[in-house]
Amino acid sequence: MINRGSDWMQKVEVLAAWLLAFLWAAPLLYAIWAAFHPMDFISRFILTAPLTVDNFRNAWKVAPFARYFFNTFVLVSITLVGQFILCTMAAYAFARFEFPGKEIAFLLVLVQIMIMPDVLIVQNYKTISSLGLVDTILGIGLPYMASAFGIFLLRQAFKQVPKELVEAARVEGAGWLSVLWKVYIPLAKPTYVAYGLVSVSYHWNNFLWPVIITNSTETRPLTVGLSIFGAPESGVNFSVISAGTLLAVSPLLIAFLLFQRQFVQSFMRSGIK
C-alpha cells in the first residue's frame, strides 16, 4: 500500500516546483515584456499594451551591436579552434604515449583546473601587454587556448578508444598522426561537441578578462559592449537596455532552447570528470 500522506505531499511539491520555475524564468520573461513594450508599460502588465520593436531599433542605433556581435563571433571561433588543436595534441600525448616526465606534466595540467587564468589577471595583463596584444581579440582568447579542462576531457575520451582499432590502422601502415586523425578524433566526436558547447557558452559570456584587455569598439565583445550600454551614465532607458540585452543573449538562448538536451548533457559531461 502506498502511503496516503504522500499524495498530499506530492501536490505541494509540484506546486513548489512550478513556483520555483516561475521565479527562475521571471527575469527573462520580464526583460522580454519590457523590450517589446513602450516604456510606459514597463511595470503595467496589461494584455492590451501595444507591442513595439522600437526598443530594438533604438538599441541597435545607440550601440554598435553589429560590431560587438562580429567581435564575439571571432573571439569564440578562434578560441575554440585553438583549444581543439592544442588540446587534441596534448590529450593524444597523454592518452597513448609513454614518455619521461608524463606524470609531472599531467599534474601541472591539473593545476589549471583549479586556478584558471580568470583569477590571474594582474600578471597575465603584463604578459599580454609585453606581447603587444592589448586591445586585440587574440589577446582575449590566448590565455584560454591551452585548456586543462579540454585536455582532461579529450584524454578520457581517447583512452576509451579500443586498442584493436589502433593496431588495425597501424597494420595498414597508418602513421601516428593519421591514426589520430582517422581513429581517435572521429570516435571522440561527442566529447568535442560537449566541450565545444561549454567553451562557446563560456567565452560568449566571459567578461572580466575582456573588459581588462579591450579598450576600443573594434575589439570589444558583446558582454563588454553591453556593460557600457547598460551603465546608468549612458542615459538609455530600461526598455532599450532590455532590448539590447535580449539581442546579445538571443543566439545562445535560441540555440539552447532548440538543443536543450544536448546543452544539458554537455554541461553534465563537463562536470563528471
Partner 1 sequence: MKLQRQIAGPVYAWLLLLPAAVLMVAFTHYPIVGGFIASFFSTGREGRPSKFIGLENYSSMIADPVFWQVLQNNAIYALGVIPISVSLAIFMAVCVNGRLPGRGIVRAAYFTPTILPMIAVANIWLFFYTPQIGLLDQICGLFNIPSHSWLGDTKTALGCMMVLAVWKDAGFFMIFFLAALQGIPPELEEAALIEGAGRWYFFRRVTLPLLMPTMLFVLVNATINSFKLVDHIFILTKGGPDNASSLLLYYIYEVAFGFWDTAYASTLTVVLLVILCLAAITQFRYMEKRVHYQ
Q: Which of 272, 226, 218, 269 is nearest to 249 (CA)?
A: 226
Task: Give the C-alpha separation, 234 to 42, whole Å.
Answer: 19
Q: How far is the CB of 157 from partner 1 (least distance, A)?
A: 16
Min CB(92)–partner 1 separation in Å:
6
Nearer to partner 1, 34 or 169 (CB): 34
Instruction: State the Cα–Cα distance between residues 240 and 246, nearest whole angstrom.
Output: 10
Q: In the numeric block, which cell numbers belong to residue 194?
A: 560537449
Q: For residues 131 and 140, is the Cβ–Cβ distance under 8 A?
A: no
Instruction: Name the minimum Å distance from CB 186 to partner 1.
Output: 18
Q: How far is CA 143 from the centre of its chain?
A: 15
- Residue nearer to partner 1 on the CB measure, 23 or 66: 23
C-alpha cell at 11: 501536490
Q: How far apart are the first and last CA of the chain?
A: 41
For the CB of residue 173, give the shortest distance to partner 1 in the complex, in Å. Answer: 14
Nearer CB in complex with partner 1: 24/47:
24
Of 114 and 171, the one with the shorter C-beta distance to partner 1 is: 114
Shortest approach of partner 1 to residue 21 CB, angstroms? Answer: 4
| Total count of residues recorded for the chain | 273
> Looking at beta carbons only, is 25 or 53 nearer to partner 1?
25
